Structures are given as structure tokens and as C-alpha cells.
Amino acid sequence: MQTFDLEAQGLRELNSTLHAQVDETNQTSWEITNPKGSHAIAVGLDAPIEVNIKGSTGYYCGGMNKQATINVSGSAGPGTAENMMSGKIVIDGDASQYAGATGHGGLLVIKGNASSRCGISMKGINIVVHGNIGHMSAFMAQSGNLVVCGDAGDALGDSCYEARLFVRGSVKSLGADCEEKEMRPEHIKILKELLAEADSDAKPEEFKRYGSARNLYNFDVDNATAY
């Protein structure tokens, strides 16, 4: 395992070093010490490497990730896994606002709670939150799966498209055009696989599914004043 002291060596050097792993290398496992809430740690990675961050991170940790596995032994600031394409990011603690925003693929696991706007405009990413999520989560979510083992705040799934939202606990309120949907065998299968990959012992049968009512898909003259 390669060890990198972020406090001593600096963020620019860290990300440059990790980006260099896109070429063939045997340096596939990295440990980052002394992150101390620094922003933009391990952004833009594009190699099948594992990065273990020993402490909490600031803004945009793991943003634009492709292929890499990133483990954060602490909590994460706003925008964690923003625009993630593939790979896996695991946060041992809590995540701040808009975790997984605009994510296109991969898996984001938050073992604590997530703040507001979790999964906003998600476009194919899978997100599993072991705890609760805040208000306006999955706003304009287009595709992918958001799994919440705890409770959800106000306006869940507001103006969402075809993303699947699974919540085990209570939902404070649903956003515009979001409704409870039927749980079918294919959804149980999806949940079972995601919960196993996220190391959660929650039972798929305990969840409810939410998604788009599809009333906002087309212009309706009777609602012209609302547009």
C-alpha cells in the first residue's frame, strides 16, 4: 500500500499522483493520511485503484470518479461523488448536502445520514444511505436507485423522472409529481443486491417504492398558469 501524507505533500501533488495511475501500474492501493477536511480529494480518478482516506473530507470528495474505490473513514462535506461515473465510494460517517448529485453510475454508500438534496438530478448512480436523508432529495432525479434505510425529509422526489426511490422509514412529504409505487419482484431483486453490496442487513420487504406519477411529462393546457 502506498501512503500519502496530505498535510505534508499537498492536494495538488496527491491528485496528480492518483491521476497518473491511469497508466498500467502496480500501485493499486493508497492510504491518504491527515485529510483534515480538505476539499476535492481524489477527484477525477480514472483507474481501478483503491483509495483509503483516514479522516473526514471537505467539498467534492471523489467527484467525477471512474473505476476507483474510495473509502472515507469519517464524514464528508457537500458534493461527495458529484457527477460520479463508475466505481464505488463508501462514507463511514455522515454526508453533507447534495451527495451523489448528477451521478451517472457507480455506487455511493453513506453509512451515516445524508443531508438535503441527496441524489439531486441523479442520472444512473446507485445511492444507499444507512441512515436518514434531508429535504429535496432526488429532486429531478432521472434514473438510478436511491435506497434509504431510515427516514426521508420533505419533498422527496420532487419533479423526478424515472429514478427508483426506496425508503424503509417514514417520508415527511412527497415532492411534486412523486407518488408511492407498487413493489414488484424485480424491485425486491434490485434492493437485495444493492443492500448486500452496501453491507446493510435491512430487509428488502421492509421498503416502500416511490417514483414519478408522470403528470409533468407533457404540457397540459388546463395547467397553463402553473408553467
Q: What is the pLDDT of residues 101-130, one digit of tens each?
A: 999 999 999 999 999 999 999 999 999 999
Share of the chain above pLDDT 90, in %: 91
Query: Could you tell me the three cell numbers for 54?
Result: 483516514
Alpha carbon distance, N-terminus to C-terminus of the chain: 55
d(CA 20, CA 122): 28
Place of cell 500501485: 27
Which neighbouring-strand residues pair with 181?
209
SS3 9: helix
Instruction: For residue 42, count CB atoms less than 10 angstroms from its CB and return exposed for 0-12, middle for 13-18, buried for 19 or more.
Output: buried
d(CA 101, CA 65): 12
Higher pLDDT, 11 or 223: 11
Residue 193, pLDDT score: 98
Element spanning 13, H or E: helix 11-19
pLDDT tens digits, 161-220 = 999 999 999 999 999 999 999 999 999 999 999 999 999 999 999 999 999 999 887 767
Contact between 63 and 48 (Cβ < 8 Å): no
User: Backbone phi, then psi, for 213, in 5-degree steps?
Assistant: -80, -10
Confidence grade of residue 221 (pLDDT, cut at 50, 70, 90): confident
Query: Hey, where are the domains in the chain?
Result: 2-214
Confidence grade of residue 227 (pLDDT, cut at 50, 70, 90): low
> Which pTM does this prediction carry?
0.95
Confidence check: pLDDT of 98 > 60: yes
Query: Any long-range contacts for 135-142 (C-beta under 8 Å, 24+ apart)?
Result: 135/172, 136/175, 138/163, 138/165, 139/175, 141/165
d(CA 68, CA 50): 6
Confidence check: pLDDT of 66 > 80: yes
Q: Is 2-214 in CATH node 2.160.20.60?
A: yes
Place of cell 436507485: 145
Residue 216, pLDDT score: 82
Query: Could you tell me the three cell numbers for 100?
Result: 451523489
Confidence grade of residue 88 (pLDDT, cut at 50, 70, 90): very high
d(CA 57, CA 79): 11
d(CA 103, CA 105): 6
Share of the chain above pLDDT 70, in %: 97
Contact between 195 and 187 (Cβ < 8 Å): no
Contact between 125 and 104 (Cβ < 8 Å): yes
pLDDT tens digits, 67-87 = 999 999 999 999 999 999 999
Confidence check: pLDDT of 224 > 90: no
Residue 25, pLDDT score: 73
Say which amino acid occupies 198: A
Confidence check: pLDDT of 95 > 90: yes
Residue 109, pLDDT score: 98
Residue 218, pLDDT score: 74
SS3 140: coil
Residue 223, pLDDT score: 66
pLDDT tens digits, 174-189 = 999 999 999 999 999 9
